[in-house]
Structure 1
């Protein structure tokens, strides 16, 4: 593991203990299920996909709905609720699958350094603030880079790369 990757992992472990916002009953039992149901049928809701990533302990595929963000032609997965199970699994697996209907895209992922997150977090909040803004401690798309950088350690961001390297 590179020095940068080790530093990110230590930062993530520290932040994960202090910042995990669990979704409420409505989100888990209604919203996530509805978005996942539509996405499984090929209907993307504002960039929605179903993320499949192998569990770091079990090796079993774990699935969760996510919002796939594109910024300057690059694609990202942002964890609005903080260091949750899929982010830990992503670090261990180094990639996974994005599902939209019957289409399955294999990918590898690299974690984005905290200093490189402000523009990505700003774009994410611009697009999905109504859905996820409550998880960002009052920081929004109009916040300064300094404010976005301050919350960056709490929100893992992964750059998505096609598995075929394109």
Structure 2
């Protein structure tokens, strides 16, 4: 029996505290290993929602990877069709292209190589040295967005 429920790992209290810290220092202009504050309009409220994210640069392109799966920011981004990335006072609006599962292995590998110490727990033993077949198998549970700035 296969589940049709999208993969989503809800953050605990510790993560919420760490995210608040990361969001605060990133808004001050201090990037923690490539952090940005992602701002997206809520799909129900229309209010700007913010969350810290790791902005990956890989082979000349920039990506956002949802390590926790179908998060609120993923749902909001899909509904809004655009968002903004902030570092200090600099705010950059963007559109995106969501990657198909077959396109994800190289990006997931680069993401894990850079941030495994932070996000490895969300990948159930899969790491940057895992074979492409393994990365392809887990790809449906990890939304990946290629950022397109104006």
Partner residue, 1:7 = none
User: What runs of 5+ residues in structure 2 fail to find an aligned partner?
Assistant: none
Instruction: Give, in whole Å, the separation in 2 of the partners of 1:107 and 1:18.
Output: 25
Partner residue, 1:23 = 11
Pick the aligned partner of 2:139 from 148, 152, 164: 152
- TM-score, structure 1 as length reference: 0.86
Partner residue, 2:61 = 74
Instruction: Please say if residues 90 and 109 of structure 1, whose CA atoms lie closer than 8 Å, have aligned partners that are also in contact.
Output: no
Q: What is the alpha-carbon root mean square deviation over aligned residues?
A: 0.9
- Runs of 4 or more, structure 1, over 2 Å off, are none
Instruction: Please say if residues 6 and 69 of structure 2, whose CA atoms lie closer than 8 Å, have aligned partners that are also in contact.
Output: no
- TM-score, structure 2 as length reference: 0.95
Instruction: Please say if residues 94 and 110 of structure 1, whose CA atoms lie closer than 8 Å, have aligned partners that are also in contact.
Output: no
Instruction: Please say if residues 54 and 62 of structure 1, whose CA atoms lie closer than 8 Å, have aligned partners that are also in contact.
Output: yes
Q: What SS does the corresponding residue of 2:49 show, helix, strand or coil?
A: strand
**Structure ranking higher in helix proportion:** 1
User: What runs of 5+ residues in structure 1 fail to find an aligned partner?
Assistant: 1-13
Instruction: Give, in whole Å, the separation in 2 of the partners of 1:131 and 1:23.
Output: 13
Pick the aligned partner of 1:50 from 37, 47, 52: 37
Partner residue, 1:131 = 118
Instruction: Give, in whole Å, the separation in 1 of the partners of 2:79 and 2:137.
Output: 25
Offset of residue 145 of structure 1: 0.5
